[in-house]
Amino acid sequence: MHVSSGRRTTHHSLRSEPAAPSARRAPIGSERRRGRLLSPFKARGQAHRQRIGRRSLAARAVVGGVAFGILAPFGAGVAAADAGANPVTCEADAAAFTPAGPSFVVDGGQYNIGYDARWDVFDQAADPSHSSDYSGSRPSDARHSSGHHGVDIFGPEGAPLVAPVDSVVIDFGSGGKGGNWVWLQSAETGEAYYYAHLERHADGLAIGATLPAGTRIGDLGDTGNAAGTAPHLHFEIHPGGRGAASTNPFDQLMAWRNAEGFREAVGALEADTFESICRIGEAWYDGHPAFEAEDGSRRFFLSARDLAEIGAALGLPESAVQRIADASGVLGYANGARNPDADTISIVDLRAAGEAFVGGSGFDAAVASAQVERDAIETRSAVRVLAGALDNGTIERDGEVLTSLNADDIRRVAPELEIPSDIADALIARIDDLGWANGIRNPAPGTVTKYDLEAVTEGLRDGLSLDAIVAAAVEARDASLVADNVDPDRLGGVPIS
């Protein structure tokens, strides 16, 4: 037995019980608005402002260059009670959540690469031989007698043409075979990209301008020697820069297309997750029957199974709901408190996660924010539990009641005291320094006493991080050693000469 049964103070008795849902505090940095829960909604290309009654509850956060409204309340029913209020929705624009990265050179979704004007069907999927019309020479082709040193990308006239990567405009103009043309140079690799046959250049295009990937440089057309043909972009890549030899750009174009597709998939999943968080919260406040439990109560703390059932009832994307469920063990701390049951997420947690989601530009940011809350809460609890166990004399080693703990003691009793292993490991990694938290050297090095743990608890309660407490303990240690005429950098007890 590591924790004696005769005088045992259980882990639960040392932890404060979770508050009732109505008493749970709002996330750090946010505020309650008369007890109403804020919910993010409607990602558009412009800021949205709603007025609830006579006061505006719109806050603004920018995600990927798009302004979002974080509007009150969760639940269209409450909003409808205020005369003149617009309905609260949970729409999200996937583009706002799409991470930055390479873009295909023709924006708009419909195009075809090669020697076929059928831009409405990408032929390579059906015919693998349809790959590229890049060639060294074409004696029989009057327009390309010296070769076709790029590929033609057919698409709808006027389709936006964009920079594939972060680039610099090195030249642009009109005339000759290319009609309206543009030269870009990759800001990272220095390779050059040539665009020809543009219908027009983008307004404001300037030599020397730096363009982020995806920036529009003009529109697809049929100028120059492409006049009278199907609208297309002639595109070249010159790895050594302008004036150097070209290379077949087909594989690179495919890589950009695939990268853009991946980024768009990420954005779509992010938007689905955002909408799912919002819609679950909205449905709860609207009294949706999906939240009814078998005993007739309404489910407030949701398990992974609850989320799956509710998501199905609301018609939410399964992948997004599963993503929320997989992170519920961490997101259950999003509101700054521990839930009664592990691996559950409350409606209030969802509200807090939604706000962090928008403010931090994505689901990973929401999880990271909740992780900070979780680590702080569990560290406070673990330190309090260990201090209480020492105070009550309930931790033993070889039949002896302990008054201090070393690393092995903490590792041994952590499972029985229900201290998460990662929190125990964090304390163990800092035990040498935490032994000075009370400002006094312990008789045994590498140990912590009840008084050290109480000092750590006080620091955590005051909002200090564990690392900040360690820094203060090290400062106290060094001051004590110097006072004893001992060099802090030589803890073997070497006097200062």
CATH superfamily of 133-248: Glucose Permease (Domain IIA) (2.70.70.10)
Per-residue pLDDT of 200-240, as tens digits, reads: 999 999 999 999 999 999 999 999 988 888 888 999 999 99
pLDDT at 426 over 70: yes
**Count, residues in the chain:** 497
Rounded distance between C-alpha atoms, residue 357 and residue 373, angstroms: 15
Omega of the bond leading into 249 within 30 degrees of 0 (cis): no
Per-residue pLDDT of 286-299, as tens digits, reads: 899 999 998 989 99
Omega of the bond leading into 73 within 30 degrees of 0 (cis): yes
Residues 417 and 385: beta-carbon distance below 8 Å: yes
Give the DSSP letter of residue 144: G
Q: Give the amino acid at 122.
A: F
Residues 104 and 161: beta-carbon distance below 8 Å: no
In the block, tokens 């590591």 appear at: 2
Is 467 buried (19+), middle (13-18) or exposed (0-12) by CB count in 10 A? exposed
**CB within 8 Å of 130: residues ≥ 6 apart:** 114, 116, 123, 124
Residue 87: pLDDT band (50, 70, 90) is: very low
pLDDT at position 488 is: 56
Torsion of CA 197, 199, 203, 208, to 10 degrees: 0
C-alpha angle 192-195-196 in degrees, rounded to nearest 5: 140
Residues 387 and 454: beta-carbon distance below 8 Å: yes
Per-residue pLDDT of 312-357, as tens digits, reads: 999 999 999 999 999 999 999 998 899 998 899 999 999 888 887 7
Rounded distance between C-alpha atoms, residue 28 and residue 386, angstroms: 27
For the chain, what are the domain ranges? 133-248
On whether the pTM is more than 0.75, the answer is no
Three-state SS for 400-417 is EECCEEEHHHHHHHCCCC
